[in-house]
Structure 1
Amino acid sequence: MLGAIGVVFGDIGTSPLYAMKESFIGPHPLAADPVHIFGVLSLVFWMLMMVVTFKYVAVTMRAHNKGEGGSFALLALISRTVEGGKWTAGLVTMGVLAAALFYGDAIITPAISVLSAVEGLAVAEAGLAPLILPVSVGILIGLFLIQARGTARVGAIFGPVVLVYFATLAVLGVTNIMARPEILGALNPVWAVRFFEVDPGTAFLALGSVVLAVTGAEALYADMGHFGRKAIGISWLTLVYPCLTLNYLGQGALLLGNPQAVSNPFFLMAPEWARLPLVGIATLATIIASQAVISGAFSVTRQAIQLGFLPRLSILHTSAKAAGQIYIPVVNWTLLVAVVLLVVGFQASTGLAAAYGIAVTGTMFITTCMVGVAMFRIWKWKPIVAWPVIGLFVVIDGVYFASNLTKFVDGGWFPLLVAAVVFVVLTTWSSGRRIMRERLAEGAIPLAVFIKSTAGSLHRIRGTSVFMASSAETIPSAMLHNIKHNQVLHERVVILTVQIEEVPHWPPEKRSVVTRHGEGFNRVVLRYGFMDEIDVPHDLANTPLAGAPFNLMTTSFFLGRQKLIASKRPGMALWRERLFAWMNKNSESAMEFFKLPTNRVVELGSQLEI
């Protein structure tokens, strides 16, 4: 539970820094009068109840893939069940779009969280206002610079620090509630209804800012594999939800007595002497929240690579014990540049808040649709139960998403632009790989035919050759090129295919499947889950092959490397083919990705029109 508090709830825990403020002074400002204060607080409380407690904790977290959550894990889970059905393509599109929106979230979260915390400097001391931007940029640069060192040591203090932060939220809330105890009446949902009755248009627009209170709800689901559904659920119900509720009520109590405090109610709740320490505590909490979403971006990227939506990238492990602690340099530096440009471009958390909501509500809406499929196809819920539940979720998410679309011009375009770019990249790589496999298959020779017609006439030399093959049925192009140029084969030939299954982890005892074809030929399939670490030499050493035991020093690994040429053949648009060819050219070598020894690898190149 302590670990979950430190990692999972950092994002949603920092929402009080800006959610109430943006509801009243955001793109669609509200008057700080009792009707609006009570109405907004009632919406916040019941939205946390319906979206986080009911939708995510009670329902969505049931849709786990061997304990793992998140859009790709959910997509893989559903794909196994509805594979080949008429909805498969649509489900894949939704899953990829949810992942694309997540990257927009991963850029905005560090920017808005750190900036909103550092803005407390101006509340504590007006003369410190010019320091907000440089201090925020400095903290963010430092945060990304330490990623390569790993988060194991820093992670050990995450839980206690966030625990102190939540305690601070509760104390500030209770202190202000005691001054205006009537604010507790805002827990009555009647106030939310009255808000819409008095001012329906403004209430609808206000939903776009109120939804900021649930930013980070998706993290509960995505990080489920690290801590488990039970730990996350208990932590939410017993600590996080009560502390957040008390703090929001405290901000409302402050506004009842002092409407001018709407400029920054979170920091103005504290007495003057405590505001500077509060900035420190809040900044630490936002750094932790940012760390969680950065680590999430690394994890999602690795899943995308394993599932075939991204090219091979350099993945470094920062912990000898925890396989999940990884660092992907290209993702880290891309996020850093985007986050710093975002902070410098928007310069205030208010501008960023307009951009934040669309990414959050868009992801939540897609998750709802995919969970709806899980209800019917996996859990086999009766329609009389499933339709009302999923209908309620669709209405809630749809209304909040529609409200956020009204902030498109104010900054909402940014996450949609990021999502569009990422979506194009993900789908281009996936489609390009499929087209490339089809082109390679056009001239492929079945293994049985090759052995019968050719293998016996070739000169054989000592040792083992391993040919990496994308297809488990045919002869890989690298073998054909090797025969064409060298006219020899090793006495033992292994045709190796690595398959990524749609489960997070594949049992090690079922890792390899060996088929012996005679004449020294072995077909080996190594299976991995989409969160497993791939280590081909290690797993081959544990695979029983025909002949002598596997010896790395007498083995040569043959890899095919295709130079792709964009053409007008049916497939993708010419510009997408060129993008795919560029991505393929700049992807990490299969040698490094599969952990092959550098001095035992032979690469054979060829050209391929796509």
Structure 2
Amino acid sequence: MTVSSSLPIEPNSSSPSTPARQGMAALTLAAIGVVYGDIGTSPLYTVKEIFAPATGVPLDATHIVGAVSTIFWALMLVVTLKYVILILRADNRGEGGSLALTALAAKTASTNPQLRRIILMIGLFGATLFYGDSIITPAISVLGAMEGLEVATPALKPLVVPITLAILISLFLVQRFGTGAMGKVFGPIVTIWFLMLAVSGIAHIIAQPAILAALNPLEAWNFLAGRGWYVFAAIGAIVLALTGAEALYADMGHFGRKPIQIAWTYLVLPSLALNYMGQGALLLADPTAIANPFYKLFPQTLIWPALIIATMAAIIASQAVISGAYSMTRQAIQLGFLPRMTVQHTSARESGQIYMPAVNWMLLVGVIAVVLFFGSSSGLAGAYGIAVTVTMATTTCLTFFVVRGRWKLPLPIAIGATLFFLAVDIFLVAGCALKFLDGGWFSLLVAAVLFLIMSTWQRGRTIVMQCIHRDGLELGAFLPTLRPEEIQRAARVAVYMVADASTVPQALLHNLKHNQVLHERNLILTVQFKDVPWVGEDERIQLEELGNSFWRVTVNFGFMDAPDVPRALKLCERYGLTIPHFQTSYFLSRESIVSTPGGGMAPWRERLFAAMTRNAGGVVEFFRLPDNAVIELGTRVQI
């Protein structure tokens, strides 16, 4: 059994994950907790990294004001203008994120297979970069928060890494229990965090109002122009203030565009701006505070409360990317880019709350490794940024096809806007590229390995489908040759789950040849995952009667749907075909891939694909089939 993917994009509609009845205030509060945790914890380490020795930025009044101005206008240009105002409009039936945008962009190139493939590869690479971010974000956020221990009590410095590891391990261990109850407090806690950012910044701005000059964009221009070629070193640190911007778009399906825009405009942006200017004001008054300008904002008596709130905010930021990794993986599986994996639903009410053990433990191993290897937020800062900025660049490229093909904007405007934002993205990527040897290689290595795996699986499944179609018997020609009256009939319904519904299922041939039996009703079933997030019940089932007690059934799911085949088959009653739950048998085919010379891929890729096929998760669990009603048969496929 395999899944196939086509690219029909329907007109935008509300996602089922965005309850229309929920109040705007409740959705906005929830969005604050989930969407903005990552970018909200950036003040823990950004300013410190801008003035690190490696950047060469002098710690004087001119450069302090210029650096803060650059942060502020980067937030305005990249986050506010690009994401909040423009990108959030490019939704796929209410869903956002790399894969949703890729599907939307690919639809515009449906008549050009070569361009469509290029778009898919760009989107796939952008998606793989998210996993590097999913490893680094928990590590750098919790490390950055725990480094407050050094400010509170220098003697606690040796405990920073052990406590960080303990928190992160605990976080991953509780994932299997779900985050529903914890999620209810995310919004209030992160709201308190942003208010703390704002208040702590205001206190120092009042003491040093000269920092308000940072609101002048000329200060940012002078800062960048004055650095010459060394500007890229500073940009590599400034981009840390933008990490998490992609979350605005990726999480749009959970909350809707409006709550995310309201939260950014009225709370998140003002709080971040005030805190960054507060840190700048502190450095104007006391340059020695550069050791940890965030925690130095607080008087000694408030460091422990600040540390506790920062830790909770860091954990929430980590939880958001962990949950995002589960969601991204499920989307990739259902779009045909990864083999099936075990998906556990942790909530009976929210289909989006899932837990994937394989993804969870791989992320945990990666997070522990980077904490031990890099050892500090400063060390991890080198690894952070490249994945984020390259993802931003891929988003810009994909959005061009949506702007031109979906929104029908004139070509000069579409090209001009794309080139402008792409130039900004490339500038940011170039700044982060200088940190390649300092850790930037890590995110790109993770992305490259995952891209190889995903592209191999997608290409391998395409070849398997071609082989099945080439070697199989044509179903349309086979059925008229049957003589049902001469064959023993089993008083049950047989569901043959197949990759290619135009060929005769191998299980059916085995039944006829060895058991000499035919069921009273026979369904040739194919599951298709559409490149839309949700498929309504009116589009779930396509039914075609073939004669001789045979029906061809196509079950359609979206890439955010929980695939439940027995439940979907109940919809056949609308077409007069009843499928009794306790009188139905499911026949599956488990393919054994055999690599042959002259195949469609390099031999090593064929062996990799064969290994992934052997270790793919079970069809029974993935499609929620009843355990006691499944018959599984093996089939050898040569590629």
Q: TM-score range by the shorter chain?
A: over 0.9
Among 581, 589, 594, the alignment partner of 1:565 is 594
1:280 and 2:323 matched: no
Residue matched to 1:59: 86
Residue matched to 2:135: 107
- Determine the C-alpha separation between the residues in 2 that align with 1:392 and 1:212: 21
1:130 and 2:190 matched: no
Residue matched to 2:64: 37
Shift of 1:460: 2.5
- Determine the C-alpha separation between the residues in 1 that align with 2:149 and 2:190: 20
- Determine the C-alpha separation between the residues in 1 that align with 2:481 and 2:103: 40
- Determine the C-alpha separation between the residues in 2 that align with 1:11 and 1:340: 19
- Determine the C-alpha separation between the residues in 2 that align with 1:509 and 1:377: 27
- Determine the C-alpha separation between the residues in 1 that align with 2:68 and 2:506: 64
- Determine the C-alpha separation between the residues in 1 that align with 2:54 and 2:343: 41
Shift of 1:541: 2.1
Shift of 1:548: 6.8
1:352 and 2:352 matched: no
Shift of 1:480: 2.4
Among 343, 351, 359, the alignment partner of 1:331 is 359
**Partners of 2:232 and 2:434 within 8 A in 1:** no
1:202 and 2:230 matched: yes
Q: 1:548 to 1:160 in 2, by over 3 A?
A: closer
**Partners of 1:27 and 1:407 within 8 A in 2:** no
Among 231, 249, 266, the alignment partner of 1:221 is 249
Q: 1:240 to 1:547 in 2, by over 3 A?
A: closer
1:442 and 2:470 matched: yes
Shift of 1:261: 1.1
Shift of 1:522: 0.7
1:551 and 2:580 matched: yes
1:527 and 2:564 matched: no
Shift of 1:546: 8.2
Q: 1:551 to 1:26 in 2, by over 3 A?
A: farther
Among 151, 174, 186, the alignment partner of 1:158 is 186
SS in 2 for 1:588: coil
Superposed CA offset, 1:307-356 (max 9, x none)? 00011111011111111000000000100010011101100111111111
Shift of 1:268: 0.7
Residue identity opposite 1:511 in structure 2: R
- Determine the C-alpha separation between the residues in 2 that align with 1:227 and 1:547: 38
1:74 and 2:101 matched: yes
Superposed CA offset, 1:473-518 (max 9, x none)? 2222332233333232111111111111111000112211111111
**Partners of 1:520 and 1:546 within 8 A in 2:** no
Q: TM-score, normalised by structure 1?
A: 0.98
- Determine the C-alpha separation between the residues in 2 that align with 1:74 and 1:198: 38
Shift of 1:26: 6.0
**Partners of 1:482 and 1:604 within 8 A in 2:** no
Q: 1:202 to 1:541 in 2, by over 3 A?
A: same
1:236 and 2:268 matched: no
Residue matched to 1:88: 116
1:263 and 2:302 matched: no
- Determine the C-alpha separation between the residues in 2 that align with 1:565 and 1:240: 54
- Determine the C-alpha separation between the residues in 2 that align with 1:514 and 1:531: 23
1:23 and 2:50 matched: yes
Shift of 1:357: 0.7
Q: Which moved more, 1:394-403 or 1:481-490?
A: 481-490
Shift of 1:2: 0.3
Superposed CA offset, 1:19-69 (max 9, x none)? 111111163242211221111111101100011110001111111000000
**Partners of 2:70 and 2:223 within 8 A in 1:** no
Residue identity opposite 1:60 in structure 2: I
**Partners of 2:476 and 2:502 within 8 A in 1:** no
Q: 1:455 to 1:331 in 2, by over 3 A?
A: farther
Q: 1:473 to 1:166 in 2, by over 3 A?
A: same
Residue matched to 2:614: 585
Residue matched to 2:371: 343
**Partners of 1:465 and 1:557 within 8 A in 2:** yes
**Partners of 2:129 and 2:391 within 8 A in 1:** yes
Residue matched to 2:406: 378
Residue identity opposite 1:150 in structure 2: G
1:118 and 2:146 matched: yes
Q: Which moved more, 1:29-38 or 1:238-247?
A: 29-38
Superposed CA offset, 1:272-312 (max 9, x none)? 11112111110100000000000000000010011000111
What does 1:167-566 align with in structure 2 at a 5 Å threshold? 167-456=195-484, 458-544=487-573, 549-566=578-595
- Determine the C-alpha separation between the residues in 1 that align with 2:241 and 2:270: 14
Superposed CA offset, 1:149-204 (max 9, x none)? 10100001001100110010001100111110010001111112212333212222
- Determine the C-alpha separation between the residues in 2 that align with 1:455 and 1:526: 28
Shift of 1:455: 4.8
Residue identity opposite 1:575 in structure 2: W
**Partners of 1:522 and 1:545 within 8 A in 2:** no
- Determine the C-alpha separation between the residues in 1 that align with 2:89 and 2:575: 44
1:6 and 2:72 matched: no
**Partners of 2:34 and 2:317 within 8 A in 1:** yes
Shift of 1:438: 1.1
Q: Which moved more, 1:438-447 or 1:169-178?
A: 438-447
**Partners of 1:516 and 1:546 within 8 A in 2:** no
Question: Any stretches of 5+ residues in structure 2 without a counterpart?
Answer: 1-27
Q: 1:455 to 1:502 in 2, by over 3 A?
A: farther
Residue identity opposite 1:418 in structure 2: V
- Determine the C-alpha separation between the residues in 2 that align with 1:143 and 1:401: 31
- Determine the C-alpha separation between the residues in 1 that align with 2:352 and 2:418: 32
- Determine the C-alpha separation between the residues in 2 that align with 1:114 and 1:439: 49
SS in 2 for 1:542: helix
**Partners of 1:80 and 1:502 within 8 A in 2:** no
- Determine the C-alpha separation between the residues in 1 that align with 2:354 and 2:505: 32
Residue identity opposite 2:615 in structure 1: N
- Determine the C-alpha separation between the residues in 2 that align with 1:77 and 1:384: 21
Residue identity opposite 1:268 in structure 2: K
Determine what percentage of the aligned residue pairs are the same residue: 50
- Determine the C-alpha separation between the residues in 1 that align with 2:577 and 2:88: 48
Q: 1:313 to 1:189 in 2, by over 3 A?
A: same
- Determine the C-alpha separation between the residues in 1 that align with 2:470 and 2:214: 68
SS in 1 for 2:383: helix
Cα RMSD between the aligned structures? 1.3
**Partners of 1:26 and 1:350 within 8 A in 2:** no
Q: 1:319 to 1:407 in 2, by over 3 A?
A: same
Equivalent pairs counted in the alignment come to 610
- Determine the C-alpha separation between the residues in 1 that align with 2:306 and 2:576: 69
Superposed CA offset, 1:126-153 (max 9, x none)? 0110110000000000100111110100
Q: Which moved more, 1:155-164 or 1:442-451?
A: 442-451
Shift of 1:236: 0.2
Report runs of 4+ in structure 1 exceeding 3 Å deviation: 454-459, 545-548
Residue identity opposite 1:433 in structure 2: R
Residue identity opposite 1:339 in structure 2: V
SS in 1 for 2:561: coil
**Partners of 1:375 and 1:381 within 8 A in 2:** yes
